[in-house]
Structure 1
Amino acid sequence: MNVSRCDLLRWQFDFTWSLFDYHLERLQPADFLWEPAALCWTVRPDATGTWVPDWAETELDPVPVPTIGWLSWHIGW
């Protein structure tokens, strides 16, 4: 099978987006901010009320566990 890189990336994005779309409507608002571990990355409102994600320019050790809200932001970003 000879598939271009562009076609493969498009397929991966479409697949990821379809799973995201399928599960998104089944989630409750509280699910997005549930923190499953002590060290989590999530999204939080800033001083203006805009929701912003936790972020680091370099990889942290240990790596924070992402919340559903952070993952949703990451896919949509």
Structure 2
Amino acid sequence: MGDKGYIGTAMLTPIRKPKHRDLLDWEKDFNYHHNKKRAIVEHAIANLTTWHILHTDHRRPIDTFATTISAALGLQFYRQA
């Protein structure tokens, strides 16, 4: 899922407002839900960077990357529960 900057790629993006009309209700609803889901991902990325998990000084070997991210996500979900 991407923002409007990724229109034309293979990503799922919000619907752009056509020049000749306003967005229809279902298009507004689609954009609302799309942006709501993207906000969750953006907040998760912000938390990871705030914790310096992805910071270059704290980066672990590439073969432990999946384990590191899984642990960070587990801690985040635990914190939100």
TM-score normalised to the size of structure 1? Answer: 0.34
- Write 1 or 2 for the structure with the bigger share of helix: 2
The structure whose Rg is larger is 2
- Write 1 or 2 for the structure with the bigger share of strand: 1
